[in-house]
Amino acid sequence: MDRMPNVRPSNRPQSTPVPVKRPNLLKRLLKVLGPGLITGASDDDPSGIGTYSATGASFGYALLWLAPATFPLMAAVQYICARIGLVCHCGIAGVIRQHYSRYLLVPVVLGLVIANTFNAATDIAAIAAGVNLLVPIPEVWLVIPIGIVLLVAMVWGSYRLIGKTFKWLTLSLFAYIGAAFFAKPDWDVVLKDTLIPTVNFSGEFLMMLVGILGTTISPYLFFWQASQEVEEQAAACRARLWRHSKGPSDGELTYAFWDVNIGMLLSNVVMFFIILTTAATLNRAGVVQIETAAQAAEALRPLAGKGAFVLMALGLIGTGVLAVPILTGSGAYAVAEAMCWKCGLDEKPRDAKGFYLVMSASTVVALAIDLVGISPIKALLWTAVLNGFIAPPLLVVIMLISNDRKIMGKRVNNRWLNALGWLTTSLMFAAAVALVVSWL
């Protein structure tokens, strides 16, 4: 019988496997999500928050149904824009330049830049107002420093740094969800008005409907979504292989689908809770005239307590910081693509001078609007008007692009995307017509 070898036990301590520390669920989720999340969060900018606050103050819970009703519309449009960016390797303006007349391209891009600049002005003023609500510093002293900090971050920051910052800023939206629970709403009425639409044809109702549609389905979101899909691919170091491939894979499109839908869902959930909060407090107390998000936050203090007020003020600052660079950046992308300039947040300023010059000029003009005393409410009104008239024809162009096999190849829209896309286009045209009729 063989003898077992005489093996002495080792005195060395046995090494134990070191557990790999995985990032928490929130960090993993933020890493997976990208342009769709950021675009959805930027949709709830201070201008949008002011619109939703006015809706809740004026109509109470009656228009809560608009939040779930608009979700599939905006999600479909943004997903179509994401597909265009993934397939064509450029933004909306670049595709229009390549396949359509300059007589369409120039007014679309010019109108977008003007509307975005006015919107950026109102949002910079809103950030200053939000800081003023928490710290007694005059708003006029804050406007220029805020604008400069945001511009410097966009010009000299890398896309990865900016993208990560934007993702974390989306967390500020949860402040509005938290504020709703301080307001102690009547949940039975909330459920009823969410599920059963209330519609009337008064001028006030139509104006509010136009405002909500124009705020939730804005042209700058179309341009930003498509351009950021291109930027995201480049930042992931797959640009060269991707640009020479036959197009995006099914996996990339699935990723974009979930990214966009989660981002748009977050946007509409926040919209829902802002309307709910102001309905439960301001409307219930008889405060029915709210024109800005800062007014809504200030009015909440005696009605819902300091907790809700602080949350609303912090959300106002966070969403403004997120939205302003996206507004000026989407305009810069559009101009650069229209002029065939080099563009991208990862490009050095010396290599993409035109792109950063447009972004800087838009920011400077926005600051001038705030400093010369132009009413933010008037600026917001004209922004809504421009967006209301730009969006419908632009949506027609987007739908034509996304159904053109010469442009999209086999990635043309399926029947569901076409149904939702054309429905959204029709509703936006109807909203524009309703706005004109309300003026007569």
- Each residue's pLDDT tens digit, 346-390: 788 888 899 999 999 999 999 998 888 766 556 665 666 677 777
Quick check: 297 and 133 in contact, CB under 8 A?
Answer: yes
- On whether the CB atoms of residues 49 and 293 are closer than 8 A, the answer is yes
Alpha carbon separation from 157 to 160, 233, 354, 373 (Å, rounded): 8, 18, 17, 31
99 against 172, higher pLDDT: 99
Rounded Cα distance between 437 and 150, Å, is 39
Which helix (H) or strand (E) is 370 found in, with range?
helix 353-371
Q: Which helix (H) or strand (E) holds 357?
A: helix 353-371
**Contact status, residue 124 vs residue 367, Cβ threshold 8 Å:** yes
- Residue in 38, 414, 79 with CA at minimum distance from that of residue 256: 79
Residue 276: CB partners within 8 Å, gap ≥ 6?
Answer: 56, 61, 64, 180, 183, 185, 190
Q: What is the mean pLDDT of the chain?
A: 80
Among candidate residues 113, 110, 126, the one with its CA nearest the CA of residue 48: 126
pLDDT at 416 over 90: yes
Q: In angstroms, rounded to a whole number, what is the distance separating the alpha carbons of residues 378 and 152?
A: 28
SS3 64: coil
For residue 45, what are the CA distances in angstroms to 67, 116, 267, 319, 327? Answer: 16, 12, 10, 5, 10
Q: Is the pLDDT of residue 422 over 70?
A: yes
Q: Where are the beta strands (DSSP E) in 248-393?
A: none
Helix 293-304 to helix 250-278 angle (10° resolution) is 60
Minimal CA–CA distance to 369: which of 47, 118, 149, 48?
118
Of 255-259, 284-288, 355-359, which one has max mean pLDDT?
Answer: 355-359
- CATH topology (fold) of 33-439: Amino acid/polyamine transporter I (1.20.1740)
**Segment among 21-35, 154-168, 221-235, 393-407 with least mean pLDDT:** 21-35
Coil, strand, or helix at residue 238? Answer: coil
Q: What is the pLDDT of residue 182?
A: 76
Residue 340 near residue 97, CB atoms below 8 Å: yes
- 215: nearest Cα among 271, 259, 266: 271
Contact criterion met (CB below 8 Å) for 247 and 89: no
Percentage of residues of the chain with pLDDT beyond 90: 26
Rounded to whole angstroms, how far apart are CA atoms 422 and 425?
A: 5
